[in-house]
Amino acid sequence: MYELGVVYRNITRADRTAADTLARFGSATVHEAMGRVGLMKPYMRPIYAGARISGTAVTVLLHPGDNWMMHVVAEQIQPGDIVIAAVTAECTDGYFGDLLATSFQARGARGLVIDAGVRDVRDLTEMGFPVWSRAISSKGTIKATLGSVNVPVVCAGALVQPGDVVVADDDGVVCVPAAMAVATAEAAAKREANEADKRAKLAAGVLGLDMYKMREPLAAAGLKYID
């Protein structure tokens, strides 16, 4: 966050299986499994609906209106990574388009999460390269100032350390610290196991009030029914 002009080449990535598995649960379940922390702000939206990915974070810190470091980070991508791009000030410029996406995809990146803007979204959609961003903008950028690669960054309000697991889908983006990835995957699996049964009951007309045994605590809290 505080070092500029530095590229860390050797980062410790989270457990591969956990990183790959977490996509299956989606960002909402993973966020719950972590204890309701780690979410990026809801202004981060996918450029097209339906993508759901997880992977290990490679981070890049950019300056407003300057995408020079996007080329530097490309070299640090390994298959299974997701690039997390933060900017030192609020910016909606289009830092990323179809050329960079071609490069990222060739390096094995699963997607991009950027707290700024992107462009060529029709091409990115056709390529199937998912991006979560705060804006879509044709505005180009320059290549003049050094940022950093693989330093801790704050992206859309969430701290991301290089190597953390990131889960992104239509509901948003959540970051799971590398050390918590395996435990979170287990907790998420447990949550999901319960959900199928609950869903069936609710579909059959059982009320959450009864299924979760809420009637008593609601009455204790003072809820009154009036006919």
The C-alpha atoms of residue 63 and residue 192 are separated, in whole angstroms, by 40
| Residue 222 in the binding site for a copy of itself (CB under 8 A) | yes
Q: Does 41 contact a copy of itself by CB under 8 A?
A: yes
Spatial separation of the C-alpha atoms in residues 51 and 46, rounded to whole Å: 8
Near a copy of itself by CB under 8 A: residue from 79, 128, 143, 186: 143
24: contact with a copy of itself by CB under 8 A: no
Q: Does 27 bind a copy of itself (CB under 8 A)?
A: yes
In 104-129, which positions are buried (b, 16+ CB within 10 angstroms) versus exposed (e)?
A: bbebebbbbbbbbbbbbbeebeeeeb
Instruction: Tell the smallest beta-carbon distance from residue 53 to a copy of itself (Å).
Output: 13
Q: How far is the CB of 57 from a copy of itself (least distance, A)?
A: 14
Per the listing, tokens 């997701």 go with: 82
Instruction: Report the C-alpha dihedral over residues 44, 46, 49, 52, rounded to 10 degrees.
Output: -100
By CB under 8 A, residue 221 contacts a copy of itself: yes
**What's the closest the beta carbon of residue 81 comes to a copy of itself, in angstroms?**
15
Verify binding: residue 193, a copy of itself, rule CB under 8 A: no
**Terminal Cα distance for the chain, rounded:** 58
Total of chain residues touching a copy of itself, rule CB under 8 A: 103
Q: Calculate helix-pair angle for 26-33, 181-203, nearest 10 degrees.
A: 120
Q: Is 169 exposed, middle or buried (0-12, 13-18, 19+ CB in 10 A)?
A: buried
Q: Does 183 bind a copy of itself (CB under 8 A)?
A: no
Decide if residue 8 touches a copy of itself (CB under 8 A). Answer: yes
Q: SS3 of 96, please? A: coil
Is 188 an interacting residue with respect to a copy of itself (CB under 8 A)?
Answer: no
Name residue, tokens 């890049």. Answer: 60
Candidate residues 20, 24, 136, 189; the one interacting with a copy of itself per rule CB under 8 A:
136
Measured from the CB atom, is 56 or 69 closer to a copy of itself? 69
Give the DSSP H or E segment for 119.
none
Q: Segment 45-104, which members bind a copy of itself (CB under 8 A)?
A: 45, 48-50, 52, 63-66, 68, 70-72, 74-75, 88-94, 97-100, 102-103
- Residues 108-127 close enough to bind a copy of itself by CB under 8 A: 117, 119-122, 125
Take residue 12 and report the two structure tokens written for it: 């410790």
8 Å CB contact between 38 and 176: yes
Q: Which C-beta is closer to a copy of itself: that of 21 or that of 158? A: 158
Nearer to a copy of itself, 41 or 190 (CB): 41
